Structure 1
Amino acid sequence: MFVGHYAAAFAAKAIEPKAPMWTLAAAAQLVDIGWSAFIIAGVERASVDPSLPGSSLILEHMPWTHSLPMAIAWGVGAALLVKLLLRLPTWASIVVGLTVFSHWLLDLLVHRPDLELWIGGEKVGFGLWNYPVPEQAVEIGLIAITGAAWVASRKTLGRLAWPAIAFIGFLVALQIVAMLSPQPAGPLEAQSGVMILAIYLIVVALAALTDSHGKRTI
């Protein structure tokens, strides 16, 4: 699961327009933003096996980002942070927190068993990555359905649709590039973590533009 995680951000924005899109885009991938930072620091570990179907990642050690209790903690922390620093309404802050936690639920669907139910505990994952075509269909399907809901909500609020459509198109293109850019075999090095982190931050910046542009003029 890569850009499919942003489906949670689209759905959240349609449900709660008061939550800025950039906070929801960051929330949808906050667990992986933390993971990429921990890969850089050497706190968590992963490697690449190009022979694997679907995702070539072997996620060996990631208890501080992808275990169930830590995913909950990241969600609660994000909700409190946007409430205190951005002064978002309570419901909007809760929606941000739920968007963070959605990452673990979507990962559960596609990951091979590498998600810890507790730190150091049993690992779970339904393994949809092992079936690349259905996995990609699920991922793009989620983006299409929730993206349509987001575009409809923008129109209801008197905002232009094209910034949202352009952002969705960018994510689909990003997914295609990721599929066609295999990583070399071996441990995932710090430079790969830097690149992954940069991509997430660029997406957050582009998400912010969808809120700052697209108002209809009379």
Structure 2
Amino acid sequence: MHSLAPLPAKLQIFYEVWSKVRDGNQGEIPFRHQLQIKHLYSLASNMLVYCRLPDRDLQVTMSGTAFDEKYGRNLTGMNIQHMATPRAAKAFIAFNGPLLEYPTAGYTCDTLVTKSGKRLRDEYLMLPLQDKNGKRTVCAMVFETQSVSYGLPPEGKHTHATYDELQVARHIDIGYGIPGCDCPILRENNAVNSEVKKSNPIVS
């Protein structure tokens, strides 16, 4: 069994399923079509799949109902700029570069205030995928959440990621090492969180 420790249950299941497919590919990164809903049924509502466009923007190709509920709208077809402030979108795009190019896994933890004022602590695991042409242009993300308190709801009709709620962000070694990455989402958090830029070893 493959594991990334410590991770919440849903994130651990996601990594185990991804790793099982990878093992069947003789160690190659899984293709998008190989991650079927039947394999991820318990995770489907907490999953987001997105692809990198030629201009390096990111676009959602599939969003689970839990993601849609959190953001107050269906996210499928939206670019990252529609879901986050410009600063957060830029940082997220930079953070995803090594996931696809190196590749690595990505882990983040944040506290998001929804439009109802509920404060949610979310942990995310992002894993790279190959598209039908064998290029690493796709990522899948699963999150696990818990309600922690209430706060002032954000301005505007919909919930947006603002970047200020981010607590931890790091790339995780999935067998290729960790790149030296001058990524703002890592660099800025390094000043306040000593765990940023450290990798979790894979335990098989």
TM-score normalized by structure 1?
Answer: 0.27
TM-score normalized by structure 2?
Answer: 0.28
Greater per-residue helix proportion? 1
Greater per-residue strand proportion? 2
